[in-house]
């Protein structure tokens, strides 16, 4: 049975919490028989009111008590799935949670598939597909800023904008088809609204979504033995990179994710740039150069004893980190237009200032915006491409039938809920069982 062929009227059940010893476990049901099945295993079966917790006991087929529980019924349509939903909150014993689950399966419930609760919320009109995807984004958010973006989309922030753009496209199509049906002599001018729509789409496409989802990539790069690994460990606040007095100790890219000011930063320690003298060094330096080309910010790490020499091939934004200031009494800052931070990675001096500079420098490069995922990005790009083709067709004087065809394709790309089964399966199969 595939996810998209499930029987939506079945009553499904799953353990909604992580299956490990904990303080509380939650068993969740959804479907027409959710309340009657939950009542059938509970000691107290009367006066169940929607959204009111019931204190009771779960018992097995022999009327032996299994656990002391709280039961929360949520009657349709005022529930996550718009069906009857019941949650049983028991003690967080794996044995108890599995026993209650099996009791409900024995009574006729079916084990839910991954994401089936959210799939039902989508199919019953409780959530748009974009909102359903935001549930997954919220669960897997790597930072508080990403969680806030996902919650905003769950509340309809992105759906509202997509709906607004699509409504304007439909309005343009209606104007065009009226002219086509009645053969008005005076043609309508859609150049200005078309440019506005393209601008709205570009604003969504240009939001820093990858930063929210995957974190801001910051690479520590420099020549050997300037303290990159020591600085990496100091920023990470743990010993991740091996540090020795031997130049060239780091021969691979080492990564760690950290949280600053609600944002996720991915730090990369790299091998020192120099002339390679072995196959290992050749591969290590190649990885460093690759990271320098694909990161969002470079920390060029040098020390107070070396002249400032930054390779010309480094094109990403750069902050110069002048390390080992604890080794000298007076420091002459380098003459450069690039931002400079003077630190002692070994003693932890001025690291807070460096973190603030990293945050401010990256955030000013990318304005705040709505988060969109890969699927939504592709649909917006499809709509944009159709509108660009529409502009080109207008310039070439193509008939209205061709122009309206491009508009219809753009409208179809932005239809949130008109998706095929493979797309639904790809989205909802990523969810855990019980969500």
Does residue 269 have a known ligand-binding role? yes
> Which residue matches tokens 């020591």?
230
Which secondary structure element, helix H or strand E, spans residue 22, and what is its range? strand 22-30
Helix axes 144-154, 157-182, angle to 10 degrees: 40
Judge whether 429 is annotated as a binding position.
no
Q: Angle 191-205/157-182 helices, nearest 10 degrees?
A: 160
244 is in an annotated binding site: yes
- Helices 374-395 and 157-182 pack at an angle, to 10 degrees, of 30
Cis-peptide, bond into residue 385, ω within 30° of zero: no
Determine if residue 225 is labeled as part of a ligand binding site: yes
Q: Is 364 annotated as a binding residue?
A: no
- Residue 98 annotated as binding site: no
The span from the CA of 268 to the CA of 229, in Å, is: 10
Whether residue 12 is annotated as binding a ligand: the answer is no
**Burial 318-354, CB ≥16 within 10 A → b, else e:** bbbbbbbbeeeeeeeebeeeeebbbbbbbeebbbeeb
The two most distant CA atoms of the chain are separated, in Å, by 85
> Of 312, 396, 303, 406, whose CA–CA distance to 346 is shortest?
303
**Binding site annotation covers 250?**
yes
Q: Is 226 annotated as a binding residue?
A: yes
Q: What are the strands, taking DSSP E only, across 222-288?
A: 254-260, 263-269
20, 94 in Cβ contact below 8 A? yes
CA distance 74 to 81: 10
Q: Is 435 annotated in some ligand binding site? A: yes
Burial track 365-395 (b if 16+ CB lie within 10 A, e otherwise): ebeebbbbbeebeebbeebbebbebbbebbe
Residue 40 counted as an annotated binding residue: no
Half-sphere exposure (CA, 13 Å, Cβ side) for 263?
A: 23
Beta-sheet strands, E only, within 39-136: 54-59, 65-74, 85-92, 110-111
Q: Is 73 helix (H, G, I), strand (E, B) or coil?
A: strand
**Count of alpha carbons within 13 angstroms of residue 133, beta-carbon side:** 23
341 assigned binding-site residue:
no
Q: Is 271 annotated as a binding residue?
A: yes
Per the annotation, does 249 bind a ligand?
yes
Q: Are strands 12-15 and 110-111 parallel, antiparallel or unpaired?
A: parallel
Residue 214 per-residue DSSP state = H
The DSSP 8-state label assigned to residue 42 in this structure reads: B
Q: Which residues are annotated as a binding site for K(+)?
A: 225, 244, 246, 249
Q: Which residues are annotated as a binding site?
A: 28, 87, 126, 225-230, 244-250, 269-272, 435
Q: Which residues are annotated as a binding site for (6S)-5-formyl-5,6,7,8-tetrahydrofolate?
A: 28, 87, 126, 435
Q: Which residues are annotated as a binding site for GTP?
A: 225-230, 244-250, 269-272
Q: Which residues are annotated as a binding site for Mg(2+)?
A: 229, 250
């Amino acid at each position: 049975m595939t996810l998209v062929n499930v029987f939506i009227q079945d009553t499904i059940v799953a353990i909604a919490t992580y299956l490990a010893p904990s303080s509380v476990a939650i068993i969740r049901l959804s479907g027409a028989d959710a309340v009657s099945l939950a009542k059938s295993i509970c000691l107290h079966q009367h006066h169940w009111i929607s959204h009111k917790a019931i204190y009771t006991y779960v018992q097995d087929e022999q009327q032996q008590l299994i656990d002391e529980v709280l039961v929360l019924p949520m009657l349709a349509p005022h529930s996550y799935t718009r069906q009857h939903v019941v949650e049983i909150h028991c003690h967080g014993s794996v044995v108890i949670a599995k026993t209650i689950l099996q009791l409900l399966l024995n009574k006729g419930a079916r084990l839910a598939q991954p994401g089936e609760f959210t799939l039902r919320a989508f199919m019953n009109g409780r959530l748009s597909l974009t909102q359903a995807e935001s549930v997954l984004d919220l669960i897997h958010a790597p930072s508080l800023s990403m969680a806030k973006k996902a919650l905003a989309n769950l509340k309809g922030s992105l759906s509202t904008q997509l709906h607004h753009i699509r409504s304007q496209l439909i309005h343009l199509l209606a104007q065009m088809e009226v002219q086509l049906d009645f053969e008005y002599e005076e043609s309508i001018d859609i150049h200005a609204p078309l440019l506005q729509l393209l601008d709205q789409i570009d604003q969504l496409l240009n939001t820093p979504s990858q930063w929210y989802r995957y974190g801001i990539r910051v690479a520590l790069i420099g020549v050997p033995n300037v303290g990159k690994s020591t600085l990496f460990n100091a920023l990470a606040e743990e010993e991740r990179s091996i540090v020795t007095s031997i130049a060239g100790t780091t021969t691979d890219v080492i990564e760690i994710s950290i949280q600053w000011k609600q944002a996720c930063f991915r730090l990369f320690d790299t091998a020192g740039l120099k002339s390679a003298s072995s196959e290992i060094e050749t591969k290590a330096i190649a990885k460093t150069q690759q990271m320098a080309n694909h990161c969002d910010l470079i920390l060029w790490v040098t020390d107070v004893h070396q002249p400032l020499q930054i390779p010309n091939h480094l094109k990403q934004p750069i902050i110069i980190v002048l390390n080992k200031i604890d080794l000298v009494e007076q420091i002459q800052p380098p003459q450069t237009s690039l931002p400079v931070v003077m630190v002692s990675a070994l003693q932890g001096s001025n690291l807070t200032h460096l973190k603030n500079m990293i945050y401010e420098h990256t955030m000013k490069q990318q304005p705040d915006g709505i988060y969109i995922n890969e699927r939504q990005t592709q649909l917006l790009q499809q709509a944009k491409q159709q509108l660009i083709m529409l502009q080109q067709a207008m310039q070439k004087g193509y008939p209205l039938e061709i122009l309206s065809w491009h508009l219809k394709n753009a409208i179809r790309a932005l239809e949130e809920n008109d998706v095929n089964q493979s797309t639904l399966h790809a989205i909802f199969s990523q969810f855990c069982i019980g969500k």
